[in-house]
Structures are given as C-alpha cells and as structure tokens.
C-alpha cells in the first residue's frame, strides 16, 4: 500500500484510522499487526509513535482518535487504505465492513 499522502501528518492519521479498523472486531490479528508495522515503516512513522500505538492495543486501552478534519481533505486515499486494510488478515469481518462504511460517512 502506497503512502496516502506526501504529508507525514496525513499518513500518521491514516495509520491511526487503520488501527481503528483493525480493532473493529476487538482483535488485532498477527497479520493485521504485521501490516500496521510494515505500513508504519514504509510511511515513515517514527518507531516511538508506532510503539505507543501498538502498546495501546496490547493493553486494551482506547486508541487515540484520528484527526478526521485532516483526513476529510484526503478522503479517497484514506477510504482506499481502509478498504485495502480490512482484508489484510484474509478475513473480512462484518464489523470491519461496517467500520469502513462509517468511515465513508464520517469523511463525507
């Protein structure tokens, strides 16, 4: 998956959103986790930031919310990333599909 943007903050906020998608079924599958880590590296997200985000999931803590205002400006790229991501573990759960529909609505 290519970077959604050349802007670092858009990529970080998109990654936060993808983590929300991954967590939609209350389970972060190993394939989903590996995909998030790989995207973080490919998109230039700092290792410390990645560690913090993944630690939230490991501890069952709520994830930081993505900046939807910023993501609205990049709707097509963000929705494409979310659609790609829900199939990364080989299983597309209904709650993940619902989340992508919700993302579309939130982003307008």
Query: Of the spans 23-32, 52-61, 65-74, which averages the highest pLDDT?
Result: 65-74
Q: Is the pLDDT of residue 20 over 90?
A: no
Q: In the chain, what percentage of residues exceed pLDDT 70?
A: 99
Give the span between the Cα atoms of 87 and 67, in whole angstroms: 23
pLDDT band at 100 (very low <50, low <70, confident <90, very high): confident
In the chain, what are the domain boundaries? 8-107
pLDDT, average across residues 30-40:
87
CB atoms within 10 A of CB 45: 20
Q: Is the pLDDT of residue 86 over 90?
A: no
Query: What is the chain's mean pLDDT, rounded?
Result: 87
CB atoms within 10 A of CB 105: 8
For the ranges 25-34, 47-56, 97-106, the lowest mean pLDDT is seen at 25-34
pLDDT, average across residues 81-102:
83
Alpha helical stretches, state H, the chain: 8-22, 30-42, 47-58, 68-72, 75-86, 94-107
């Amino acid at each position: 998956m290519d970077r959604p943007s050349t802007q670092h903050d858009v990529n970080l906020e998109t990654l936060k959103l993808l983590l929300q998608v991954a967590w939609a079924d209350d389970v972060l599958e190993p394939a989903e986790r590996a995909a998030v880590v790989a995207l973080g590296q490919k998109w230039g997200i700092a290792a410390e930031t990645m560690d913090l985000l993944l630690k939230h999931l490991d501890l069952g803590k709520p994830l930081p919310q993505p900046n939807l205002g910023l993501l609205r400006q990049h709707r097509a790229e963000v929705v494409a990333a979310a659609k790609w991501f829900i199939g990364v573990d080989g299983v597309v759960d209904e709650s993940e599909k619902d989340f992508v529909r919700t993302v579309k609505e939130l982003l307008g």
